Copies of this chain bind each other. A is one copy, B any other.
Amino acid sequence: MQFVRYLQCVHCGGIYLPDVVDYYCPKCGYQHGILDVIYDYDAVEAHLNPQSLAADPVRTMWRYLPLLPVANPELIPHLQVGWTPLYNTPKLAEWLGVEQCWVKDEGRNPTASFKDRASAVGVVKALEKGATRITCASTGNAASSLAGFSSAAGLPASIFVPRRAPEAKVAQLLVFGAQVFSVGGTYDQAWELCMLASAEFGWYNRNCAINPYLIEGKKTVSLELAEQFYELTPGKFPDWVVVSVGDGCTIGGVWKGLKEMHRLGFIPRLPKVLGVQAEGCQPFLTAWLNHQPLQPCDADTLADSIAVGHPRNFHKGMQAVVESGGAFVAVPDEAILEAMTTLARKAAVFGEPAGVTGAAGVKAAVQSGIIDPAESVAIIVTGNGLKDIASAIKAAGAPTLIEPDLEAVRKAL
């Protein structure tokens, strides 16, 4: 917390000290009173700049410690999170119809999703508060990620998942030893139940939409993007940063990180942010197109990680697109499945449905004229394809069954 100045409510502008408030603005409540962590950037700059980073051997998200709300770095668990690969993918760029395309593979994190960046911060904050148990509700990835990091931190976890969460993700939670509640209801119901249980039993609440610190972990993907491009193509940065959108926290974190690295001189010009939703669940797109407030909706998409009909961080999600001059788009499930095989075949990155939704969104945005073919894009692939094998099989088809005989091979060719 060396450089944290205060927490500020995105709704009423109220300012709070971290010692006083844990989660959300007490005046505005958790539906609106999301807090933002405000740093002393002048002080940060002295400790986080191209020279300091070049000299830093740490190759995890913790190399950005001056921009993270951690008071006691000794509590950081051992799992190595962040510093994921960034790939230049010309074949994918050609397929998408853009000048240049970069893929950041967040499936390479410890529990195979982007959410590890948030959970890493979450368990440290819980330990700092002296919590004896941590909880969250999740469509899957935040949960498996919290399970992994609470195991690493030696902190028990109780996790609420909707009944539709894929088996693989639930298995991950259980293997890591978390107490898992499979809630007979939607993600939104699991989320509300987790809020109640956290208050009732005093569990530290890792839910990203109401805990101001989690998004600070998420923003590190942009800190890395900025540094990686600063090294690769100094003075240049992609025109668009692309990510799929569920709760709004991820895209909010992405935008915050970009702004911070712009402020620190790593990014010459802020990019536009493209938020991609599934057609079966597009509350951000609807609100953005109609200049309306959020209308919660049903969620019907195979991209379970973004099947969020009632986004809990509408403010920060909308802000990312509006402030950056970007856009929301939505894509059908078929386009998501097509992106799954295309990303694997043209960029050799195997992402889960919500992980590749960003790529499908770029294709749609190029076709509708939102992205110009002369522009460049950086796509954040948020989770590993092994997380959702059922969808992978849907996308990829079946193997050729043969008997152990050369003639059978010849016939099949």
Residues on A close to B: CB < 8 A?
A: 59, 77-80, 85, 87-89, 91, 105, 108, 110-112, 148-149, 151-152, 154, 161, 163, 167-168, 170-177, 179-185, 189-190, 192-193, 196-197, 200-201, 340-341, 344-346, 348, 350, 384-387, 389, 392-393, 395-406, 409-410, 412-413
Neighbouring B residues of A79 by C-beta, 8 Å? 85, 87, 348
* Chain B: CB-nearest residue to A197: B409
CB distance from A227 to the nearest CB of B (A): 13
B341 and A389 contact, CB distance less than 8 A:
no
Q: Is the CB of B80 within 8 A of A170?
A: no
Contacting residues, chain B, for A393 (C-beta < 8 A): 167, 171, 174
Q: A78-B348, A112-B386, A149-B348 are in contact. Are A182 and B87 (CB under 8 A)?
A: no
Residues of B within 8 A of A167 (CB): 389, 393
Contact B78 A151 (CB under 8 A): no
A183: chain B residues within 8 A (beta carbon): 402-404
A220 to chain B, nearest CB (A): 17
Complex contacts, A190 vs chain B, CB 8 Å: 404
In Å, the complex CA distance between A412 and B158 comes to 11
Which of these, B152, B189, B401, contacts A184 with CB under 8 Å? Answer: B401
The residue from B152, B175, B196, B412 contacting A385, defined by CB atoms under 8 A apart: B175
User: 12 A–B contact pairs at CB < 8 A?
Assistant: A108-B110, A149-B348, A151-B348, A171-B389, A172-B385, A172-B392, A175-B385, A177-B344, A183-B402, A183-B404, A192-B404, A193-B409
The chain B residue sitting closest to A351, CB to CB, is B175
* Cα–Cα distance between A50 and B173 once the two chains are bound (Å): 40
- Chain B residues, CB < 8 A from A385: 171-172, 175
Q: A78-B89, A168-B389, A184-B404 provided; 14 other pairs, C-beta below 8 A?
A: A78-B87, A78-B348, A79-B85, A110-B348, A112-B386, A152-B348, A163-B401, A171-B392, A172-B386, A174-B398, A174-B399, A176-B350, A182-B401, A189-B404
